[in-house]
Each structure stands twice: as C-alpha cells, then as structure tokens.
Amino acid sequence: MTAEDNSISNNGRVVALCGGVGGAKLAFGLARILGDRLTVVVNTGDDFEHLGLHVSPDLDTVLYTLSGLANRELGWGRGDESWNFMSVLRDLGAETWFQLGDRDLALHVERTRQLRAGVPLTQIIGAFANSFGIRAEILPMSDDAVRTTVVTPEGALPFQRYFVERRCAPMVRQINFEGAGKAQPTAQVLAALRDPDLQAIILCPSNPFLSIDPILAVPGLRGVLEAARAPVVAVSPIIGGKAVKGPTDKIMAELGVAATNGAIAEHYRGLLAGLVIDATDAAERDTVGGPTHVTKTLMKSDEDREELARETLGFAARLAAMAGPKRMVSS
Amino acid sequence: MTAEDNSISNNGRVVALCGGVGGAKLAFGLARILGDRLTVVVNTGDDFEHLGLHVSPDLDTVLYTLSGLANRELGWGRGDESWNFMSVLRDLGAETWFQLGDRDLALHVERTRQLRAGVPLTQIIGAFANSFGIRAEILPMSDDAVRTTVVTPEGALPFQRYFVERRCAPMVRQINFEGAGKAQPTAQVLAALRDPDLQAIILCPSNPFLSIDPILAVPGLRGVLEAARAPVVAVSPIIGGKAVKGPTDKIMAELGVAATNGAIAEHYRGLLAGLVIDATDAAERDTVGGPTHVTKTLMKSDEDREELARETLGFAARLAAMAGPKRMVSS
C-alpha cells in the first residue's frame, strides 16, 4: 500500500456502481481493501421473471463474486455448481435457454418467496450477503421494478432475451429502462451516497449503456452523484477499442459511438471527476477531456482486482485533494 | 399368467385409486400388466404450496414409481437425486423441513409456472407422464384444490406439516378435506370410471383415511364408484395389525378403529365387491364380511408388485364373472 491511498483505505465510505461480471471484479478488489466501508449499488434492470422465479443476474453475480463463489470461467453463476434441475427441465420440454444451476436456484426461489411476501429486495439481498459472509453492503439500485429493454430491428426485446437467448446478435437501436420513471431510490442507496464521510464514488468497468445507465435512470440518483462532494471516478470498460467481455463495443458501434475511452468519458459527462484507462490506451490520455489515470485495468487474478481497486482509490483520493472543479468537462 | 386373469389383462380398462408410496407400488405392478389400459386416479389432498411452489407429493411419487425413477429406500423422491439446492437454502436460513431434490424441483417449478398460466393440473401431469415414458394414464383426482387438514389436540395442521414436519406425532382427532365440497371431478376421471369396457376399480393399499378418502370426497366420485358395474376391489394396507409403512395403524387407533382387515372393509362399506388381504391374516378371512382373496400383499420387489397386481386383477375378474350382488355387506 502506498502513502497516497492511505487516506481512503483507513476511513470513510466508498460507493461503487456496477452491473455484472467486469464491474463485480472491481467491486471484489474494492471490498478486499475497504471491507464494510464499501457499498455496492447494483443494476437491477436485467432482473426478470423466469419460470415464475425472480432472477437478479447482476445482484447474484456480485454476491457470488464478493463471496468467492463465482464461476471464474463462465463469468456468471457459481463455481461449485450442478445442473440436475436443468436436465430434468429439458426432459419435461420446458424452457431451457436460461441456465439455472441447482445451488443458484435456491437464491431465486427464496428471493421470489420473500418478494411475494412483501419483503423489499434490499432487505432480501442484505440477508443473502450476510449469509454469504460478505462484509460490504450490497444494494439493489431500487426496490421498484426497472426493466431494461433493447430496441432492435426485430422489435423491443426484454434484456435477457437479447443478452442470453439471442446472444446480443440483434442490432441495438435504442435502450429503454421500463418503469425507471416511477422507480424510487431506496433510503439505503441515498444514505450511502449522502454519507458525510463519503470518499469516492466509483463507476465500475461495467457496460455504461446496459449496466450503469439503468442505475443513473432511477429518479434522483444522477442528481445525487452530481451533487456529491466526493469525486466520481469511472474505470473504462474499453481496452484497445474492445470490451474485455460482453457487447459494450458492439453496442457502441450500433449506437454510432466510437469504442474509445473518450467516448466513455463523454457518455458520463457532467458526472466524472476522472477516468481510469488501461496502459494499452495511454496514448488516448489527452483525448478524454479531463483527469485520467493510466494503469492496468485488465483483471485476471484476485491480485489484479485488488491492484486496480487500489489504483482507482488512490486516483480518487488525489482528485479529492485537488482544488478546482470536481467534474470533467467535455473534450 | 393363469387362465383366469386373461380376461382382464387382454382387454378393457382398469382404474386404480391411490395415494403415495404403498399405493404407487401396486400401480406399478398394474401398469406392467396393463400398460395404457390402466388409469391411476391420484390423491391431491396432500398438495401444498411450499416456498411459492406447488408441490404434489402423491402425483410425483406415482410418476417416479411408474417411470422407475423412484427412490426405493426413502419411499419418496427420485433415486438419482442431488441436494445442492437444499444445501444453499439452508445457508440462506430458509425453510428446510420439506426436502426438495435438485431434479425433483424441476417438476415443482414447471408445474407451478403452468398452473399460474392457467393450465389444468390434469394436462400438466399428463405431459409429465408422457415425458417420463409412462404409458398408463395418471390423473389428479381433481383440478380443483382439496387440502387435507389433520385436526389434532394442537389444532388443525395442514397435511404436510403433520406428516413431514411433525412426523405424524400429534394425535389425530379428525381429518378434513378443505375445499372438497366445491371441487369438481374432471372429465378425464369420470370418463375413465364410466368407460363401458371398465373391468375393475382397484383401491390400492394406500392409507384409506388420508389417501383414498380425499378422492372419494370429490363430489360425485363415490357415487360413480357405487354405480359402476365393474367390481371395486381394495387391497388392504394392513398386515398383521400394522401398516407396512406410514401412520395408517396409528391413525386407526387414534380414531378408535381396530387396525384389522375387517375395519378396512367396514371403512369402504357400500363400495367394495371384495378385499385382498395378506396371507399373514388368512385367519381374518371370514371376519371381513364378504369376498376376500388371500395372497402375499407385501411388495418388496418389482416382481412382488406385478404378482399382487395379477392376483388382484384375477380376483376382480372372478368377482365380475359372479352373479349376484356386487357389493360387500357390512360384517
């Protein structure tokens, strides 16, 4: 640990916004350093009802990643998984395009039962995180339903149909967050973002369009981020013009945006105090229109995750210590 | 095969009424002989909602038994089962008193989904049976909810709470079939029982009070059995004053009825043309008040099941060939 990030790692709260895989990896690194001083606000726009069960893909990926249970090869689900439920479901001729592991299923069944009994999702996830031994606070972005819909030439597709069943093949014309207008931010998310000891807000390297935007679409949240005294720092999901995983670059192209770090900064305009980019893209440093930290953003090992978290926290601490405007301007 | 049961095994339909374990074993034997000429009408009074899933214990036991998938040691569930779902459910602190195997779970989830979509239980079970390669027709006693409730000194307990969670410990004062008054027999059950080629109606050696009575409580069914020209033959669940499995003898004692074959015949008074009893109880032959066939009723192997089925069908064929009254009188 270097001296410059001591200020963050020893006191104060950090809030990270994230979606699934890539974002969860950084959240893991942050949790290693911050423990219970980390709050992770997670996208629920991918949530859907499947086989009568409420599935929360990003929340579960964060739970599995932070508890060390995640399947590192697949990028979703648990490592210690069995598939006997699916195999019988197939025998029955039921829908099998969405894989549900036997252990994973317990979360869906118990979450669905509690939701039907009126327990808020925030409380359910808090109890799950606790039973998984996770010290960080894991919060759904809202207890109200926000459903990401991808508008394609074939029509509007619910997110999981687009993402899993169609494997992101259809061209994206527009992305909608159904229900976002009526969703309420939870008291827990607002409390974390308004914590007087808040040191940094991290936008994890998740897909900005599909994972971070739904969170920012919850009424009031963008305003709270804009008003926060703590610096908002994004880690770019783009390395060398490509997304590490997932369809970020494909979607950017389809939406007519170049898959560059500058475009990521532009996308978050008005929010960011700084952007973390990969060393591969060091040459783009001066094109992003504001403070940029260059480091290794590809996370292959737990140590990579922790190192990127430490670099990001150190960058945020330096930005917080800087005088002057706290938001990047458009390049 | 002996000559006397050829008449049954080569043509005509047979309807068996049954509950779970013991009854399903005889249904297995009958299905081996009769194939698609067997209809099994199954108790759904034990059905309940658990963790938000519609569980049909007796229907599933019949499906697993007839498809050869049943767990022969446990007497419920599948033989090739894993328990990873339950293990995570336990970690989450959820309800675990009712065991749901990973493979078994597929039936509950898919059944629940289809029921919520408005598909009748009869149609769902028919498709399940088909996908399990079962040739016999498996029918729920009704598509409407009938819920067995056991009145005990502690109050009224839903059946599974009494049977599984409390392991039949509380004393039974009364057994109610909630909703039975409003339940409709299905067209499929009525068609099977009114089949002009109906050769026999078999009351399997299930618990008369908990497994067969709920079926007879569905309005109209008892009348159809009474009116049937085919003989109604019961296989007694009592051997040597004890139930082979389950609480039949305990419940009979608590209800003030001796655990004898005579009491079983008396319980079914007005319905039976004959009773099959175990060789152990040959001395009771003349006490049951009507035609009685003595054979080995304990079913340990598949061959035992088929042999008892064959004996029962042969007995029914002889009763059908007899002139005179088709119903036993009270002893």
Domains of chain B: 3-321 (3.40.50.10680)
Q: Please give the average per-residue pLDDT across B98-124, as a whole number.
A: 97
Taking 80 as the threshold, does the pLDDT of residue B26 lie above it? Answer: yes
Q: Please give the average per-residue pLDDT across B303-326, as a whole number.
A: 89
Q: Report residue B59 as tokens.
A: 């229907």
Taking 50 as the threshold, does the pLDDT of residue B4 lie above it? Answer: no
Mutate to test the interface with B, among A67, A109, A123 (most CBs of B within 10 A): A109
- pLDDT reported for residue A9: 47
Chain B: nearest CA to A89, how far in angstroms? 5
Work out the angle at residue A136's Cα, subtended by the Cα atoms of residues A130 and A138, and round it to the nearest 5 degrees.
75
- pLDDT reported for residue A318: 95
- pLDDT reported for residue A323: 58
Taking 70 as the threshold, does the pLDDT of residue B329 lie above it? Answer: no
Chain B: nearest CA to A36, how far in angstroms? 20
Cross-chain residue pair A103–B112, CB shorter than 8 Å: no
> Residues in chain A whose beta carbon is closer than 8 A to a beta carbon of chain B?
51-53, 81-82, 84-89, 91-94, 101-107, 109-110, 112-113, 116, 127-128, 131-132
Taking 50 as the threshold, does the pLDDT of residue B51 lie above it? Answer: yes
- pLDDT reported for residue B327: 73
- pLDDT reported for residue A268: 95
A213-to-A64, A164, A183, B232 alpha-carbon distances in Å: 23, 20, 14, 68
On the 0-12 / 13-18 / 19+ scale of CB atoms within 10 A, B137 is buried
Asked whether the beta carbons of B111 and A94 are under 8 A apart, the reply is: no
Work out the pLDDT band at B326, boundaries 50, 70, 90: low
Find chain B residues with C-beta within 8 A of A110's C-beta: 51, 89, 92, 94
Which residues, in sequence order, are CB contacts of B219 under 8 Å at separation 6+? B180, B181, B183, B184, B185
Q: Report residue A248 as tokens.
A: 């970020």
Chain A: nearest CA to B89, how far in angstroms? 5
Chain A: nearest CA to B60, how far in angstroms? 13
Q: Please give the average per-residue pLDDT across B32-42, as a whole number.
A: 97
For residues B288 and B284, give the distance between their C-alpha atoms in angstroms, rounded to a whole number.
7
Cross-chain residue pair A110–B92, CB shorter than 8 Å: yes
Taking 80 as the threshold, does the pLDDT of residue B325 lie above it? Answer: no
Cross-chain residue pair A85–B103, CB shorter than 8 Å: yes
- pLDDT reported for residue A10: 65
Cross-chain residue pair B102–A82, CB shorter than 8 Å: yes
For residues B311 and B276, give the distance between their C-alpha atoms in angstroms, rounded to a whole number.
9
Residues of chain A with pLDDT under 50: 1-7, 9, 331
Q: Smallest Cβ distance to A93: which of B89, B104, B131? A: B131
Q: Smallest Cβ distance to B131: which of A92, A105, A107? A: A92
Instruction: Return the number of CB contacts < 8 Å for A and B.
Output: 95
- pLDDT reported for residue A36: 96
Find chain A residues with C-beta within 8 A of B94's C-beta: 106, 110, 113
Find chain B residues with C-beta within 8 A of A105's C-beta: 85, 88, 102, 105
Give chain B's mean pLDDT.
Answer: 92
- pLDDT reported for residue A133: 97
Q: Smallest Cβ distance to B103: which of A88, A103, A109? A: A88
For residues B239 and B225, give the distance between their C-alpha atoms in angstroms, rounded to a whole number.
25
Q: Smallest Cβ distance to B52: which of A89, A106, A116? A: A116
Taking 90 as the threshold, does the pLDDT of residue B301 lie above it? Answer: yes
Taking 50 as the threshold, does the pLDDT of residue B128 lie above it? Answer: yes
Cross-chain residue pair B112–A52, CB shorter than 8 Å: yes
Q: Smallest Cβ distance to A102: which of B102, B127, B132? A: B102
Name the least confident of A238-252, B51-65, B128-142.
A238-252
Cross-chain residue pair A85–B107, CB shorter than 8 Å: no
Q: How far apart are the first and last CA of chain B?
A: 33
Which residues, in sequence order, are CB contacts of B167 under 8 Å at separation 6+? none
Asked whether the beta carbons of B268 and B207 are under 8 A apart, the reply is: no
Which residues, in sequence order, are CB contacts of A195 under 8 Å at separation 6+? A13, A15
Q: Please give the average per-residue pLDDT across B60-68, as a whole number.
A: 96
Q: Smallest Cβ distance to B110: which of A51, A84, A104? A: A51
E strands, A166-237, are 174-178, 198-203, 232-235
DSSP state of B1: -
